Amino acid sequence: MNLITPDSGLLFWMVLIFGIVFFILAKWGFPAITGMVDERNKHIDESLRLAEEAQVRMSKLAEEQAELIAQTRQEQGRILKEAARARSEILAQAKADAQAQTAEMVEKAREQIANERETALRDIRRQVALLSVDVAEKVLRAKLDASPEQQALIDRLTDEAVIPNEAKESITS
């Protein structure tokens, strides 16, 4: 039973050694341990504070990013609207130019048609006049004789006849 019940001398020395170890720990060990615990606590508090600041900064950056995205989208919308407006203006200008060119071409075609019609009518009149003169000449040659009365009639009719200068030139040549 010696192991279970300690001797008084052993008990004395155990209490004395415990007191010395406790005194040494209380004097130098506990302050170092509590200092390290306090330092670790401060480090953890500082890390938490820095984490909160980082979180605040991240939320601000996220807000700024969202704002920049919104501004970019607005700018994109403005640019697209401006491009659509410019496209509409270019199309309208091209359409107006095409209509003006078409109208100009139609007017030139009408003038050309009128000039060609006038030229064709002049040619037809000239040909009709020449044919009339040729027919009249053939008819008159066939029916005319050399009598002075018919010769006077021919002279009088030629003086009265209004023949265009071109026809007279073609008759004389």
Is residue 167 scored above 60 in pLDDT? no
Q: How far apart are CA 129 and CA 161, in angstroms?
A: 12
- Each domain of the chain, given as residue ranges in start order, spans 8-172
Q: Bigger pLDDT: 99 or 143?
A: 99
69-92: pLDDT as tens digits: 999 999 999 999 999 999 999 999
Contact 167, 125 (CB under 8 A): no
15-43: pLDDT as tens digits: 999 999 999 989 998 898 899 999 999 99
Q: What is the pTM of this model?
A: 0.40
